[in-house]
Amino acid sequence: MVDVGQPAPDFEAEGSTGKVSLSSLRGKKVVLYFYPKSFTPGCTREIQRFVELYDEFIKAGAEVIGVSVDSVSTQKRFSEKYGAKFPVVSDHEKKISSSYGVLNEKGTSAQRVTFVIDAQGVIRAVLRNLKKAEDHADRALEEVKKI
């Protein structure tokens, strides 16, 4: 898994808002959160919390991107249902999850891991093993405000 102090691997992928690339966001902080599966209880609570805090992320100079291995159509439905203004990206080929080292042991889905990336593209925090899925949004916002 990529870790604090390392450059965040670039990617380009299709998502709920069209094509998204990490390099196109250089100059902004980015919260990149991986989650196992759209429409499951934990992942639903997590996206809802990111949606609730999205304006705070923007005020702090950060963009949010959600990633799972679900299809583009599933990501669009998931994003629309919960009102996400940020991109929710499909990593159906598992390339992004692999480059960040967050695929589960079976290689079938991403683990729940959040990366906080600074404006230069360097990982400043890695959040994992939090008790509640929705805590990822709150903790990520705390980390964004530190950089």
Residue pair 36/109 in contact (Cβ under 8 Å)? The answer is: yes
Q: Does pTM top 0.95 for this prediction? A: yes
Q: Above 90 in pLDDT, residue 65?
A: yes
Mean confidence (pLDDT) of the chain: 96
Taking residue 59's Cβ as centre, other Cβ atoms within 10 Å add up to 11
Structure tokens at 143: 């980390």
Residue 1 is predicted with a pLDDT of 85
pLDDT band at 73 (very low <50, low <70, confident <90, very high): very high
Share of the chain above pLDDT 70, in %: 100
| Closest CA relative to residue 100, chosen from 13, 50, 33 | 33
Task: List C-alpha distances in Å: 46 to 2, 25, 124, 147.
Answer: 22, 22, 21, 23
Please measure the distance between the N-terminal and C-terminal CA atoms of the chain and give it in whole angstroms: 22
Task: Go through the domains of the chain in sequence order and give each one's CATH number.
Answer: 12-146 (3.40.30.10)
Q: Tell me the catalytic residues.
A: 43
Share of the chain above pLDDT 90, in %: 97
| Tens digits of residue pLDDT in 108-127 | 999 999 999 999 999 999 99
Residue 55 is predicted with a pLDDT of 98
Dihedrals phi, psi of 92, to nearest 5 degrees: -55, -30
Dihedrals phi, psi of 98, to nearest 5 degrees: -65, -45
